[in-house]
Amino acid sequence: MEKPVAIVGLGALGSVFAALLARAGTPVIGVCRGQEHREAVEAGGLLLREGEQESRLRFPVVPELPGGESLALVIVLVKSFDTETAAKSLAGRVDSHTPVLTLQNGLGNAEALAAHLSPDQILAGTTTFGALREAPGIVQITGRGECEIGAWRPAGERYLPQVKELFMRAGVECRLTAQTAATLWKKLAINAAINPLTALLHVRNGALLELEELNPIVGMVVEEVWRVAARHQIALPTPPELKAEVLRVCRVTAGNRSSMLGDVAQRRPTEIDAINGAVSRLGRERGILSPANELLAGLIRALSAASRSRPSEDGEAT
């Protein structure tokens, strides 16, 4: 019997990956602490929408991963500020030979998992899927993307082919990389520009292309990411190339609302400390100031605090 894949965190992206894997016939266990969503999936399954197509998938959903379960893979998709809690929960419940993959936004997630699990079992990567959790038990793919994954330590490379096979079987394009840190930092540069600006302006991704005033700001943000990455010996594309990639992502995800915009709108904590806040913090460690990223981080923290008095709205994950 095929071993199940555990999805830790059934937000928008976690629900999409759980549904795609389940639809492909892979046994899935969803780990979801949100009672309303968990009960909806338990009662009626998870409804996946993509365009005009709908699929209803049924799989077990639990608030905590049971101990002693033999798993093919664990995918961690909680918000970055919950990674430490998730890592502690997985410790002792997942054996050291089970690969654990983070596809989360920002920096620090793999480190948090490696601190409580075996570093050799940690995989890390990025995804360009867009997703919206419309209501408890209902999730929509708003943009079909791909994954790029690598091993956190060389010993983990042995897990990569089997994880790629699981994704490809589920219809998820997956590329393997030997430059795991660079992959995470490149996605960080994209998130550092798109997420806070869309949240501050309350606009969808494509609107950033229409506001010429944002061009120099995007340029400053990605150049700071590039400079901090270089000081940490992470080789990234040049700042102009990073800026071009930000604009490309805005074009292909023009209709999406960023996860940070959704978090602010729904009065939830944001991942700003793992994105722009991480750039500022890691820059200071190497004697580099990152004023654009530090300013955006401060503005998002203030906006997040102020948003508690606003009506709640749905948000999308990017």
Task: Note whether 242 and 285 are within 8 A (CB).
Answer: no
The type of residue at 7 is I
How large is the greatest C-alpha to C-alpha distance in the chain, in angstroms? 57
Residue identified by tokens 């393997």 is 176
Q: Tokens for 101? A: 């993959």
Name which of 153, 175, 201 is nearest 300 in CA terms. 201
Catalytic hit among 79, 186, 187, 243: 187
Measured CA to CA, the distance from residue 21 to residue 130 in angstroms comes to 16
Question: Kind of pairing, strands 316-317 and 61-62?
Answer: unpaired
Measured CA to CA, the distance from residue 215 to residue 239 in angstroms comes to 13
Catalytic-residue membership of 3: no
Active-site residues, by number, are 187
